[in-house]
Amino acid sequence: MKVSRGYVRRLTLTREQAAALDVQGHAARAMWNLLHEWWTWGGRRRRPTLKQADEAIRQARKDIPWLADLPAQAAQQVLKTYMGAWKNFFEGRARPPEFKSRVRSRMAVDVPQGRDLDVRRLSRHVGRVRIPKVGVVRFRWSGPIPGVGRESGRVSGARLVTDALGWHVVFRTEQERPDPTPHPGPAVGIDRGVHVPLALSDGNDQRHGPWLRPKEAERLLRLERKAARQNRARKPFERTSNRLHRTYDQIAGLRARAKRRRYDWQHKTTTKIADEYGLVVTEKLRLANMIYSAKGTVEAPGKNVRQKSGLNRVMLDEAHGRTVDLLEYKLAERGGRLLPVPAAGTSQTCSRCGHRDPASRSGIKFSCTSCGWVGHADTNAALNILNAAGLGRVRTWSPAPVGCEASTTRRAA
């Protein structure tokens, strides 16, 4: 079995190297925008070929000198990524490609050939990589990389990306592993929520604290208020001041730190679950619909808009979709399986008797109005998710609204 993974490492750049990477990042973004304008010019009747697009890129690198600062292979990778974006759109997986904003988009430069990187480990915490037109750059060695040193596998390429904390390198690696044997672990149902991030049907709930420490959260609030004051002082259509830009950068740095801590917790938690359980049952959630704004329209304004806005922020902060993606590939590597089931009624149905009544749930407490069973609402939902897969107390009925005859349940064999 061939396993492809990405390993992110933080680069340690000099001032000259950081400036050179910034130039390449802006050139890659400009190349994307020029390609998109050239590709969409003339409407749907014009269908250029891949060969014509390649010739257009080569000519643009000759006509515009600063586009030549981007390595030729990186420019070809921009074309490949752009074509992949259109393919994803035609197959219904994503929106059509758009122009990349200088402010909102993240700068990225591809190094498609792994042989050009010459990745080596220098010491316990320091490694080095060779970047085209930048030179030898050191990075923080925070873990082994397949294909480097004594590690089996190979580095097939890399992607240089930036965020509020600086430039990073993402190594693309390939590694041959034996096909996994079926995981002998038990089955578990997982309910993703806000009060309990991951509630497991066996009671082994996975929780976390705030992503920011108290002093960091206090500083973030102070910076957000400062940015609001500076923005109010700015006249309409006036250019953003350097001070306001600096405040925005400080806010982005704190949020990026919280994002990294969330990602670290998700990786560690999903690895622990994948090691322990052979089958994980989750509910199919339409997250895009769940975080939809309740503002409404002018003719029909929404209700509890501020409360719904706060709930949406908390749900986005949990990143439940990424948790499922991490679980899916980690379970597959270990011989486990992820099974999604419909989510309708899991939070309103009693896992003991199967009676469904919205009045049974009150906040985080679930008290069945039929059999009187009392428990945590998230644990009850996790048990119902496991039941829906036929692995716990299996329903023998279709969920019915309140007032219909209650059904019976049986134990799975």
Count of Cβ atoms closer than 10 Å to residue 57 Cβ: 20
Q: How many residues does the chain have?
A: 413
| Catalytic site includes residue 378 | yes
Residue of 22, 37, 118, 191 marked active site: 191
DSSP string, 219-234: HHHHHHHHHHHHHHHS
Q: Are 383 and 392 in contact (CB under 8 A)?
A: yes
Output the CA–CA distances (angstroms, integers) from residue 193 to 142, 147, 190, 207, 285, in the order listed.
31, 39, 10, 11, 11
| Catalytic site includes residue 22 | no
Measure the CA–CA gap between 77 and 67, rounded to whole angstroms.
Answer: 14
- Local structure of 364: helix, strand or coil: coil
Gyration radius (Cα) of the chain, Å: 26
Residue of 151, 202, 283, 333 marked active site: 283
| Catalytic site includes residue 191 | yes
| CB proximity list for 279: less than 8 A, separation 6 or greater | 183, 185, 186, 187, 188, 336, 337, 338, 339, 389, 391
Report H helices in 287-363: 287-290, 305-318, 320-333
Q: Smallest Cα–Cα separation from 385: which of 348, 355, 413, 410?
A: 348
Which H or E run contains 11? strand 2-12
Q: Smallest Cα–Cα separation from 69: which of 24, 110, 117?
A: 24
Residue of 151, 176, 378, 405 marked active site: 378
Measure the CA–CA gap between 270 and 272, rounded to whole angstroms.
Answer: 5
Measure the CA–CA gap between 113 and 245, rounded to whole angstroms.
Answer: 36
Q: Which residues are catalytic?
A: 191, 283, 378
